Amino acid sequence: MIRRIYLTSKLNDAVIDYFSLSRFQLHHGKARCSKSTSCCCFFSVMEERSSIVKTPLNNVLTQRRSKSYRRSMRSCVEATNLGYTSGHLTALRIPRSRRTPKSRDITKQVDPDQVALLVTKEWELSYVTPLYQFRHTQLKSYSKHLSAFIVSEKQQGLAIEVGQELGFKVNFSVVLGLAETDEDAETVFIQILSKHAFAAKDDAQKVVWSGWLTCVNGDLEYLRSLPSEFVSLPLLCTRGPESLTVLVKSWFEKTFDCCFGPLGINSTNLQWLAALWIGCHPTINIQYLKLVWTLPTLPPMDVKYTIHPQDAWELWDSVRQDDTTDVSIEEVTRFIKGLQSHFFRHFRIELSAGSLMQVSTALGSSHHSGKIKIASPTYITTILQLLTECALLKMPI
Amino acid sequence: MCFLVQLVKNEEQFQQKLADTVLQEKNVNVRLARSLPLPMENDESRPRIDLVVFIIHLTSELSFQSAETSLKYLDPGYFQGKVCFLVTNARNVSVPPERLVSVRKLAASLHCPLLCTEDQTTEGVTTAAHRLLAILKVAAGLVPMATGLYSDIDQQKFE
């Protein structure tokens, strides 16, 4: 190997090549050198430094606190390659395997009426940075403040609909029981009620906007590292007119000094959700598994791929090697690759050249742009745990 | 000097634009390919290849996979400074972060430089072409006191 490089490079480079190869040998121990040089001259062109340094023959082991700390530090360094900033000392990991979800009757822990508020509706997701001095005990005063804020903001707008604004009423409530660990804050549910523009005086107010902030099984190291005045509820789900969403977010930003941002569900997480729903098939009939891909052709082509649940279940079962409690990302990828290769065999279209946009079953549907619908409350905690993790990873802090 | 570009189907616009920009420099030959190995017919007339660039579009999984399979057809002598990875759409929200991590691990394990580029604007393509030309000059041996073996100086160590 050495001889080949020596001959093919130009004459003025030949000497440098030999030195660089010897550096290679001392650092990495991979290139075999017929003559071993004991001293090494650094001709480091980029750093403009020439010094005689005796490089160590082995990698120097650094002190580490614990294996998991190091792994998590490395994963956050891998993720940024920008060195350490104060935010990235909160190490976040991208998990490679998850526990199989067990179907659980959530109504034992949570009030069924409140569960009914959360399911069968399509929510739009955002991430929230930690809230400063948010108290679960002061929800009534928050309701009053927010309704006053909405009314005052609406009156500044150009098109004033008198009947509607004055009837704004905001409800903050707590949904107890969704939090999994001690570090999770309790879910807060917000409803904005108002009367329809042409409603009569006695008509009840209807819900025009609803949203909820939640944290389910958030990363424990991160939650413990937050200062005590901060409450972390990283996932916000909203439903309703965009104007009201913007108002609610700006009120939160002013009151609790937090930031909001859109949360998309990338293709890996969509695949996790598909695997989760398929895994539920023996207990609950999912009726269909529909996957939607977008291919970057001109014009862009959407492929809707609907699979019979029994076939999908058989494929998933064959991919799942043993009945362990963990599902790994390799099994999920293999499942999706099986579906893609089947499609390719029939239609000669390679789906992996495009991106996965939507996954839906009878149990729920999730879209790449950050919309999720949970149709059945059985696996709600697993889905919320996945989404909380997405929100924590997406957050800039 | 010669320089081979490598890609997956349907994404030829970036490859073409990049090739056109690079060709504005004198004495550079660019050959484009969709995958390796290169066809046997032109083997005699092909000039010496100084740099092999793999273009990976992070938005599609297929791009990464075809780059990985093509790597096996490359002579090991090329991996000492004559291979470069070019990645587009690294900042895209829809790209799962694991894909970029695996591309970086691949580049680090092969000790090859990894460039991130932006392919939608002309400035992005021009910047990418300039950086590739800089690496090409080193790989072809035209820069004194530098060889392609230094290309992994700023790569992180992936254990």
Give the mean pLDDT of B28-32: 79
Q: Which fold has domain B3-158?
A: Rossmann fold (3.40.50)
- Nearest CA distance, A211 vs chain B (angstrom): 24
Give the mean pLDDT of A125-145: 89
Dihedral of the CA atoms A69, A71, A73, A77 (nearest 10)?
180
What is residue B71's predicted lDDT score, i.e. its pLDDT? 85
Residue A355 to residue B60, Cβ atoms within 8 A:
yes
- Nearest CA distance, A10 vs chain B (angstrom): 7
What is the ipTM score, two decimals?
0.72
More confidently predicted of A9 and B141: B141
- B73 inside 8 A of chain A by CB: no
Going from N- to C-terminal start, the domains of chain A cover: 1-12+96-111+264-379, 130-258
| Segment holding B55, helix H or strand E | strand B51-57
What is residue A321's predicted lDDT score, i.e. its pLDDT? 77
Q: Convert the pLDDT of each residue in B101-146 to its tens digit.
A: 888 888 888 888 888 888 888 888 899 888 888 888 888 878 887 7
Residue B80 to residue A5, Cβ atoms within 8 A:
yes
Q: Convert the pLDDT of each residue in A32-51 to its tens digit.
A: 333 333 333 333 334 334 44
- CA-wise closest residue to B55 among B98, B109, B118, B1: B118
| DSSP 8-state code for residue A89 | G
Q: Convert the pLDDT of each residue in A158-208 to its tens digit.
A: 454 443 445 678 888 888 888 778 788 888 889 888 876 666 666 677 888
CB contact at 8 A, B54 and B84: yes
More confidently predicted of A48 and A235: A235
Contact list in A for residue B146 (CB cut-off 8 A) is: 16, 45
Nearest 5°: phi and psi at A108? -70, -30
- CA-wise closest residue to A123 among A187, A179, A186, A171: A187
- The residue of A33, A350, A367 whose CB has the most chain B CBs within 10 angstroms, and thus the best one to mutate to test that interface, is A350
Distances (CA, A) of A274 to A10, A335, A339: 56, 10, 12
Contact list in A for residue B63 (CB cut-off 8 A) is: 353
Query: What are the residues whose beta carbons fall under 8 Å from the beta carbon of B140, sequence distance 6 or more?
Result: B1, B50, B51
In terms of average pLDDT, the best of A26-30, A94-98, A378-382 is A378-382
More confidently predicted of A332 and A72: A332
Q: Convert the pLDDT of each residue in A221-231 to its tens digit.
A: 888 888 888 88
pLDDT at A125 > cutoff 90: yes
**Sheet harboring B114-117: ordered strands across?**
B29-33, B2-6, B51-57, B83-88, B114-117
Report whether the peptide linkage leading into residue A299 is cis, meaning its omega lies within 30 degrees of zero. yes
Q: Kindly tell me the burial class for residue A169, based on how many C-beta atoms sit within 10 Å of its own C-beta (0-12, 13-18, 19 or more).
A: middle
> C-alpha angle A162/A164/A170, rounded to 5°?
135
Query: What are the residues whose beta carbons fall under 8 Å from the beta carbon of A13, sequence distance 6 or more?
Result: B141, B144, B147
Other CB atoms within a 10 A radius of the CB of residue A200 amount to: 7
Pairing of strands B51-57, B29-33: unpaired
Global pTM value: 0.72
Nearest 5°: phi and psi at A232? -105, 115
pLDDT at A78 > cutoff 60: no
Give the mean pLDDT of A276-288: 84
- The residue of B50, B120, B149 whose CB has the most chain A CBs within 10 angstroms, and thus the best one to mutate to test that interface, is B149
Residue B65 to residue A78, Cβ atoms within 8 A:
no
Alpha helices in A241-368 (DSSP H): 242-256, 267-279, 309-319, 329-347
CB contact at 8 A, A183 and A226: no
- B60 inside 8 A of chain A by CB: yes
Contact list in A for residue B96 (CB cut-off 8 A) is: 266-269
| Segment holding A171, helix H or strand E | strand A169-175
- The residue of A7, A11, A16 whose CB has the most chain B CBs within 10 angstroms, and thus the best one to mutate to test that interface, is A16
Going from N- to C-terminal start, the domains of chain B cover: 3-158
Residue in B77, B98, B104 nearest the CB of A4: B77
What is residue B59's predicted lDDT score, i.e. its pLDDT? 83
More confidently predicted of A67 and A364: A364
pLDDT at A2 > cutoff 50: no
Residue in B62, B97, B146 nearest the CB of A350: B62
